[in-house]
Amino acid sequence: MGMADWPCQLKQIPRDEHSRKAREEGWIGDWASSGPAGLYIHDEGEITIAYQEDLLANPVHLTATMVHELCHYLLRSKVRSHPPTGWADHELHTDVMCSFMGFGIFVCNAVFDFRQWGSQGTTGWSWSRQGYLSESEHAYALALFCELNGCDPRVAAGHLKVNPLNYFGLAVDDLESRREEVLRLAATVPLNDSLPPILSVESEADGNPSFEREPLEQIVFSLADVVALGPEKPWYTPLWNFYFRLAQAQTAATWHAMELAALESLQPDLQTAILAIRFSLRCDGEGLQGAIILDEEVDVTECGAMLERTSRAYDALGDQPRAAFLRSLLPSVQIHFDSLEHAQNEGTLDEFYSPLDQDETWQGLGLLWVKGLHLLKTRKPHTLTHPA
């Protein structure tokens, strides 16, 4: 894997007591295990890979586990682009990466393990499941690896267990019917090795990116970074992380003022992309009303100005339905503040209903703006840098 000189420690996890008794005492019936076979631990700069003691008796499972944890290490350290669904799915990405690092046969054979034994009138059986993808998904990743690397799938097939072998055959046949898609994948150009690693890495806690990376003035964004946005979580990008850090660095008293200062420092195209991403993120986390109504210290004028600015951004990205909808809400901002003040004065906050509570309408408008971000690549084929 090209990681022989990467600093790393190994730690053994003691044998699971439940499985130990099942093996050593000949329990009748079945026992099962689906917990993590290994762990990747990043603590104060030190990397540790922990593995289950039981794996020492199973070289295939041990190899699959080590590869999976080392892929975590790679993804956290070297990757220069973001997966389309965001880092919350990092375990799935890591499983896929195992195949593309050349260990697809191991992970296919390690997904599911069934064993049966019998002695002196007692019988027992056990099963274990390892990893996050299914046998069929791992088999498909292996078939794709063979296709893209010019490997004869018959060689891989000769080393697969019966179940993954069946899935592998189906995957090879399916890829034969997808020649255009395979050719597009094969034509993918790797990002330049001189680019710094991306700002965000996976977080085992909640999938949120961290921001402890390069100094701001050293960051360069290509338009590939801007357009590498997935429709489900389009804010998981180097661009958004950079903007968030930039806003945090401002000296203003409120978060709204910090964001305004950050926006003013960005190029027009970057402002447009950030405004759309910013509003989408706020809607996802706080609803439409929470996205429009800013800090408590902000008045109706400032909220309306930011809403108008955001609507222009969606317009620039070709998402006229969202832009028009946001503009139609501008009068409702004043009504919201007036109604809220009246409810506070009358002591009827429990009955307060904001005219901005139109989340279902917002969510039903599609995501044309994401397509607009992709068009930036062809419309403005140059590198965007922040004038730090």
Tens of pLDDT, residue by residue over 315-338, are 998 999 999 999 999 999 898 888
The pLDDT score that the predictor gives to residue 129 is 58
**Mean pLDDT across 155-161:** 95
* Per-residue model confidence as pLDDT tens digits over 75-110: 877 776 666 666 667 788 888 999 999 999 999 998
Rounded Cα gap, residues 163 and 240, in angstroms: 43
Sheet of 112-119, strands arranged across:
29-33, 122-129, 112-119
The yes-or-no verdict on residue 272 having pLDDT over 60 is: yes
Burial track 132-166 (b if 16+ CB lie within 10 A, e otherwise): bbebbbbbbbbbbbbbeeeeebeebbeebbebbbe
pLDDT band of 157, cuts 50, 70, 90? very high
Coil vs helix vs strand at 182? helix
pLDDT at residue 379 in the model: 56
Determine the pLDDT at residue 104. Answer: 95
Three-state DSSP class for residue 4: coil
Confidence of residue 176 (pLDDT cuts 50, 70, 90): very high
CA 278 to chain centre: 17
For residue 239, what are the CA distances in angstroms to 65, 76, 204, 277, 388? Answer: 33, 18, 22, 9, 14
- How many Cα atoms within 13 Å fall on the side-chain side of residue 301? 0
Helix axes 268-292, 255-264, angle to 10 degrees: 160
Q: In this model, does residue 290 exceed pLDDT 80?
A: yes
Q: What is the DSSP letter of 265?
A: T
Beta strands 38-43; 29-33: pairing state: unpaired
pLDDT of 123 higher than 80: no
Closest CA to 61 of 26, 19, 27: 19
What is the distance between the alpha carbons of residues 210 and 307, in angstroms, rounded to a whole number? 28
Reference 362, options 303, 292, 273; nearest CA is 292
- Asked whether residue 286 carries a pLDDT value surpassing 50, the answer given is yes
Percent with pLDDT over 90 in the chain: 26
- In the prediction, which pLDDT does 181 show? 92
Which has more confidence, 74 or 131? 74
Confidence label for 168 from pLDDT (cuts 50, 70 and 90): very high
pLDDT level of residue 245 (50, 70, 90 thresholds): confident
> Which sign, positive or negative, has the C-alpha torsion 135, 141, 144, 145?
negative
Give the residue-averaged pLDDT of 271-278.
86
Question: % helix / strand / coil in the chain, to the nearest 5?
Answer: 55, 10, 35
CA distance 136 to 138: 6
| CA distance from start to end of the chain | 37
- Dump strand ranges (E) for the chain: 9-13, 29-33, 38-43, 46-52, 112-119, 122-129, 220-221, 384-385
User: Is the Cβ–Cβ distance between 296 and 250 less than 8 Å?
Assistant: no
pLDDT in tens, 177-221: 999 999 988 988 776 666 656 544 443 333 344 433 334 444 444
pLDDT score of 246 more than 90: no
pLDDT score of 265 more than 80? no
Judged by DSSP in three states, 320 sits in helix
Band (pLDDT 50/70/90 cuts) for residue 130 is low
User: What are the extents of the domains in the chain?
Assistant: 9-133, 216-385
Q: Lowest-confidence range among 3-7, 11-15, 355-359? A: 11-15
The yes-or-no verdict on residue 257 having pLDDT over 60 is yes
Q: How confident is the model at residue 20 (pLDDT cuts 50, 70, 90)?
A: low
Could you tell me which residues come within 8 angstroms of residue 77 by beta carbon, excluding any fewer than 6 positions away? Answer: 197
**116: helix, strand or coil:** strand
Summary mean pLDDT of the chain? 76
pLDDT of 278 reads 87
Length of the chain in terms of residues written: 388
CA distances (Å), origin 254, targets 187, 217, 259, 295, 297 = 47, 24, 9, 7, 8
pLDDT at 145 over 70: yes
In eight-state DSSP terms, residue 199 is S
For residues 331-350, average pLDDT? 85
Structure tokens at 101: 């690092």
Task: Give the three-state DSSP class for 239.
Answer: helix
pLDDT of residue 199: 44
Q: Is 48 exposed, middle or buried (0-12, 13-18, 19+ CB in 10 A)?
A: middle
pLDDT at 227 (0 to 100): 47
pLDDT at 121: 46
